[in-house]
Structure 1
Amino acid sequence: MIRVLFVCLGNICRSPMAEAVFRHQVKEAGLEDVISIDSAGTGDWHIGHPPHQGTRDILDRYQIGYDGLKARQVRPDDFYHFTYIIAMDDSNVVNLDAFAPEFVENEQHASIHKLLDFSSNQAITEVPDPYYTGKFQEVYEMVEESCSRLLAYIVDQHELTK
């Protein structure tokens, strides 16, 4: 099983949007039996809360389900449980270091990337936080395109067949 964890600050806007979009894409590709998806935040302010209303509105607009999504915080064991940890911005990558356990040489653990590492627009490297900007549509477009390219990357890296 390939496991993907999307990470943002509070786990109510960007990372649950990415989780829902990626789940949708994985299901459409018929790969839900080989790819597992989750999301988490580096902060603990919203633990147990559903996605932000702006995230729910944009997902509703595109008919992408988000039932059961609840905010949680990153845990040290996530680094062993997941194949990929996908952060939304540089500060999330830095914050992930606080959760990362000490790795033993040759020990299997998640590879960490930023979502926009998979974007075709290399001029923008971070997904802006719509909690502060209100630009949920702009974030959705970044997430949708980058998740599609992430899926293609995973399919290629793991030689999956659709």
Structure 2
Amino acid sequence: MARRIARIGIQKIIGTIARIVIARFQPAVVGVTGSVGKTSTTAAISHLLAKRYSVRSTRGNLNTQFGLPLTIFKDWKEEELAPLRDRLQAGKHLGRKLLFWLKAIGEGIRAAAGKEKNFAPEVLVLEYAADHPGDIARLTSVVAPDVAVVTAIGEVPVHV
């Protein structure tokens, strides 16, 4: 129960900070969703737009209620995201995860305050994942795309 409360609390905090960052800098937002092809479509769109605009896009699987705000906050290095990949086994790595989320909240506040000198991309290309009913609505409540790209949609995702 305590973990669930902590998860919801973190989602609300980082979601609120992400909304503030978006309101302050007002980047154009391209949203990509669908059952298959999201990551490659996001990469292709980012590659094309980067020829003319400053672009930040979703990396890896940062396409959930936790990952979407992280992409908005900054362009994370792969090693910085390591605590997110650690499986929590009977409290193992709990300290690393807690420190990561404290850092993430700090990075979000820095971005919202304009302290991140390279923050303001002109375009965000964000991947929106949906594993459960209501996921897309929750993600778009953090940041609604100006342009939406829907890849193939099937009854059962290809990776399941």
Instruction: State whether TM-score is above 0.5.
Output: no
Structure with the higher fraction of residues in helix conformation: 2
What's the TM-score once normalised by structure 2's chain length? 0.31
> Higher relative CO (CA 8 A, sep ≥ 6), structure 1 or 2?
2
What is the TM-score with the length of structure 1 in the denominator? Answer: 0.31
Structure showing greater radius of gyration is 2
